[in-house]
Structure 1
Amino acid sequence: MKSLVSKLVVLVFFCFSSGKSMANLGEYTLGAGDLVNITVFGEEDLFVETRVSNVGVIKYPFLGELQLIGKTVNEVERIIDEGLRGDYLINPTVSVSVIEYRPFFIDGEVKRPGGYSYQPGLSFDKAVALAGGYTERANKAKVNTKRIIDGREESLELSVGDIVLPGDIITIPSRFF
């Protein structure tokens, strides 16, 4: 038991000391380009499959435009439930799922730079593999990543086991011999 507690303490310390907050490791937040599926049990007219627009909104029956960017699937379910409850439905059962995630991008010293489909749990080394691997000039020690965090673009350094998120822009720099 002591061993388990000490491992948990080390894990929590690692997460905070490495600059990653627990929120970054938590639930996925929606962004522009995500394809979402919204269903309300027993209400076929309220089924919607739509892509989140560049400004982060979708149009939903009876509720109009909904701002989804930065919200989790659970938050969107709650918003739709509260909007439909009472005036339109007595007890709606709302389900929201992400059908297609927005892509991540990788450029620089990889064999096939470009945009790639995100897959949940995608690690940095797997992202490099999707892009055909490193070129012979790649500087593997210093990888720059741009990521939107709390509405602001942040610059991060990734290493082999780190998780890639949708919308990330990964740049593999050249090394000098």
Structure 2
Amino acid sequence: MSRFTWTAIALAAALAGCAAPRAVPPPLAAAFDEPYVLATGDRLRISVFGQPNLSNSYTVEPDGRIAMPLVGRYEVVNKTPDQVRTGLEAKLKGGFLRDPNVSVEIEGYRPFYILGEVNSAGQFPYVVGMTAQNAVAIASGFSPRAQKDRVELTRRHGDRIYKSEVPLTYPVRPGDTITVQERWF
């Protein structure tokens, strides 16, 4: 074969490798499958049966706590709503109420962020069941220079931060950052 043929084959192989999106690494997939844990900015609706003065909406403050009457400042960050319910029942049972019945619901999720080649980058309210494609639509669509087949998703899980290229059908969670890259051609 001629030198031109080998160069063309090498160039085609290199471009084929660039065109295929990377697979989602296991930690990012695992970070999606785990139960939802609370973080700063989430809003909770806490109801204590028979106690209207304790039942209210509480926002997770920057220090990861909520301030609730009789309980005081209670740490909720990195806990599931069920863990918060159990903890609040134990706190209230410890001298305040005989048999507290507490329910904890997520009233509002923390926002997600979208950056890069979209028409309106910024912070937006999260909607349950959202995909990366929905997030782009909320940000007024792709800019003319956008790469339109995948996005980069950054997700915090515990103390670690995971970053990966994902397809537009990939589920988004509250607090995720989506970056739409600029296309090369």
Please give the per-residue CA displacement for 1:49-108, whole angstroms capped at 9, x wherever unaligned: 121111211112222211111111111100001111241112111011111111101011
TM-superposed deviation, 1:151: 2.2
Taking the TM superposition and a 5 Å limit, the aligned residue runs for 1:90-109 are: 90-109=98-117
Q: How many residue pairs end up in the alignment?
A: 163
TM-superposed deviation, 1:48: 2.8
Which runs of structure 1 show a deviation greater than 3 angstroms over 4 or more consecutive aligned residues?
A: 14-19
Tell me which amino acid in the other structure corresponds to 1:101.
Y
Instruction: Show the counterpart of 2:47.
Output: 39
Q: Which has the larger radius of gyration?
A: 2
Tell me which amino acid in the other structure corresponds to 2:29.
K
Tell me which amino acid in the other structure corresponds to 1:100.
G
CA RMSD of aligned residues (A): 2.1
TM-superposed deviation, 1:18: 8.5
TM-superposed deviation, 1:37: 1.3
1:72 to 71, 77, 80: 80
* In the alignment, structure 1 residue 160 sits paired with structure 2 residue 168: yes
SS of the aligned residue for 1:20 comes to helix
TM-superposed deviation, 1:28: 1.7
Q: Percent identity?
A: 34
* In the alignment, structure 1 residue 51 sits paired with structure 2 residue 62: no
| Larger relative contact order (Cα-Cα within 8 Å, sequence gap ≥ 6) | 2
Question: TM-score, normalised to structure 1's length?
Answer: 0.83
CA distance, structure 2, for counterparts of residue 16 and residue 157 of structure 1: 9
Question: TM-score, normalised to structure 2's length?
Answer: 0.80
SS of the aligned residue for 1:140 comes to coil
Instruction: Show the counterpart of 1:6.
Output: none
Structure 1 portions without partners, runs of 5+:
1-13
